[in-house]
Chains A and B, each alone.
Chain A
Amino acid sequence: MGRLPRWADVILTPLISVLLAFAISALVILAIGESPVEALKVMVEGALGSSYGWGFTLYYATNFIFTGLAVMVAYHAGLFNIGGEGQAAMGGLGATLVILSLPWPHWALALPAAMIGAAGFGALWALIPAWLQARRGSHVVITTIMFNFIAAALLNYMLVNVLRPVGSMDPASANFPAATHLPKLSEMALAFGITWGKNTPANITLFIALAACVLVWLLIWRTRLGYEIRAFGKSEPAALYAGISPVRITVLAMLISGGLAGLMAVNNVMGEAERLVLNSVEGAGFIGIAVALMGRNHPFGILLSALLFGFLYQGGGELALWTTIPRELIVVIQALVILFTGALDNMVRRPLEWVFARSGKRD
């Protein structure tokens, strides 16, 4: 089998995989008696047709950038972190504790502190699985799944028994003080005299997410640690031989991964809900898996696929609103994207390799 040219490996294979996933999604829509074209129209109209739609699309995309980057960093170290959901939930707890424990005078002061709280709690939640994998050889996939459930239980306990304000029946924390509210993109646009995305949750965290993309790229491809992470992910024995400590890389990669997942809380807890509620992550941790796989574990790819999933998420909500298609359609699309870009990769790659090997011979 000949190897694929680089452009085919980086662009063509994932593109075909995603198209296959969408084609089957279209068949699913047909099977439930709806028109895929109509559905797409509603989705595009609802998610991209107005600044209101864009405001939500960008808000969701911000979440997915963080969770996608989280999966990516672990993936480069050869670790599959399915714990983004729990880590993001714990990030929410961290941000909430930071914001509610001090009387912050201004959001610009609260933001870095909340970021540290969110990333710290997320990283801490990834630390135990990482340590168990590195020291005791227990599989990080299983432990991160378990930690998702433990996080949900812990969060439930904290909200019901500790953080719930006196007299409130709702399992949620107190509302964050007005001084800690992050500026929304719509308010920032208004400052420039532009009316854009009124009443949408997209906020300043988007820029933090974009910065995170750049920083993660620098980390993985331009630093010594990133090199060690990639070397370890490619071949553990080779990395060991080169003097790279498996324990150190496993723990560091998972800490960074958990920290990135935790940072998502700045967007959804601090930026949107402005209090901590049950299940605030809403599956974004899992969508990160699809985003990272589709983005080929590269920050730029992740940015694009996070935007696509932001569009799907917002469009899916619109579908549920205007048609009889439930928003669970998005879960199906997400599953198919994971299946085709992640697990059935060889199904696309093998015929392509064959095609390229044949055309190569003819030249």
Chain B
Amino acid sequence: MDFATVIQILDSALRLMVPLLLACLAGLYSERAGVFDIGLEGKMLMAAFCAASVAYATGNAWLGLLAGIAGAVALAVVHGLASITFRGNQLISGVAINFLASGLTVLLGQKIFGLGGRTPSLEGAARFTEITLPFADALRGVPVLGRIYADLISGHSVLVYLALATVPLTWWVLYRTRFGLRLRAVGENPASVDTAGVSVTRLRYAAVLICGLLCGIAGTYLATAISAGFVKEMTAGRGFIALAALIFAKWRPWGALGACLLFGLLEAIANRFPNLDLGFVTVPSMFMNALPYILTVIILAGFVGRAIPPRAGGEPYVKER
């Protein structure tokens, strides 16, 4: 394997990591506030559909992004209503949201575009195109570092850099702001936050809405940057891989970056080498595709460090008890 191939695989890993990372951070906000969310998949799918439809209609990728966010936030509100206001089962609500998105996107897509659930292909300004960072072409000649800068770091859509910037931002919000402290507290011990006179309901809604926002960007990236348009079930389990990454990262932002990079890399390698030949054994592509899930189960089993979720996760807060 030569240097160019390595760069290509890493480049592809970076692209594939972005939706995972955004969804993973989305889940991080929600779960850190004590609201389990297995509906990341559905929110991403809905966002991908809304973004592709509006971007196609207006020819503007940014309007598509807004629509994608709106779509995901709408589902986040449903999740908030079910799990915060009506104190329902958060897991069941997440399952329902996944199916709702999976059905509605095809139903609406077929109604609007009549292409069996696809949207028409996006072209030009309707897509987030790759931007070239300054001096990328000039520096390409520099050995190793120049290639890394020009071919790996430069040449991605703006959403990629946005996603990467979200990691330190999330770290800062979570660990260096009052909101973050309260958010973490509400996921561990909501009664203490309530005693301090801070509304548990409002904090959890804020977290769920941020989750919707980030899922919205993730879905938009899928439909308008990685591919050119929406395809039925295009999230293909990424919401669940993001969930796996979140556990892998033990609900921490920098860990999320590492976990998503690993899972992105696995996907990139699986795409590049459908049947990976390790010399002594040929690894089938199915195994590579299942590897994120297998790794998560191993992590969950506690064989490689224990992953302990936020303590109040999954439980509705009842004030009057």
Q: Which residues of A are interface residues toward B (Cβ below 8 A)?
A: 28, 32-33, 80, 82, 128, 132, 136-139, 141-143, 145-147, 149-150, 152-154, 156-157, 160-161, 286, 289, 293, 324-326, 328-336, 338-339, 342-347, 350
Q: Are B297 and A331 in contact (CB under 8 A)?
A: no
| Contacts A32-B108, A136-B301, A138-B300; A346 near B100 (Cβ below 8 A) | no
Q: Are A154 and B296 in contact (CB under 8 A)?
A: no
| Contacts A136-B300, A336-B100, A339-B100; A344 near B107 (Cβ below 8 A) | no
Residues of A within 8 A of B100 (CB): 332, 335-336, 339
CB distance from B7 to the nearest CB of A (A): 28
Q: Are A142 and B287 in contact (CB under 8 A)?
A: no
Complex Cα distance, B297 from A132, in Å, reads: 9
Q: Are A339 and B96 in contact (CB under 8 A)?
A: yes
Residues of A within 8 A of B293 (CB): 146-147, 149-150, 153
B132 within 8 A of A: no
Complex Cα distance, B91 from A331, in Å, reads: 18
Complex Cα distance, B93 from A348, in Å, reads: 15
Q: Are A328 and B107 in contact (CB under 8 A)?
A: yes
CB distance from B273 to the nearest CB of A (A): 16
> What's the count of A-B pairs with C-beta under 8 Å?
152
Interface string of B101-130 (1 = CB under 8 A from A): 011101110110000110000000000000
Q: Which residues of B are interface residues toward A (Cβ below 8 A)?
A: 38, 78, 81-83, 86-93, 95-100, 102-104, 106-108, 110-111, 116-117, 237, 240, 243-244, 247, 284, 286-287, 289-290, 293-294, 296-297, 300-302, 307, 309
Q: Return 10 A-B CB contacts under 8 Å, by A number.
A: A138-B297, A143-B297, A152-B290, A286-B95, A331-B99, A336-B96, A342-B88, A342-B92, A343-B83, A347-B86
Complex Cα distance, B177 from A348, in Å, reads: 38
Residues of A within 8 A of B106 (CB): 326, 328, 331
Residues of A within 8 A of B309 (CB): 139
Chain A, Cβ-Cβ closest to B291: A153
Complex Cα distance, B111 from A286, in Å, reads: 25
Complex Cα distance, B99 from A338, in Å, reads: 9
Residues of B within 8 A of A334 (CB): 99, 103
Taking a contact as CB atoms closer than 8 A, the residue among B78, B81, B90, B104 that contacts A28 in the complex is: B104
Residues of B within 8 A of A128 (CB): 297
CB distance from B48 to the nearest CB of A (A): 15
Q: Are A338 and B103 in contact (CB under 8 A)?
A: no
| Contacts A32-B111, A339-B93; A149 near B86 (Cβ below 8 A) | no
Residues of B within 8 A of A347 (CB): 86, 88
| Contacts A143-B297, A153-B287, A344-B88; A32 near B97 (Cβ below 8 A) | no
CB distance from B154 to the nearest CB of A (A): 34
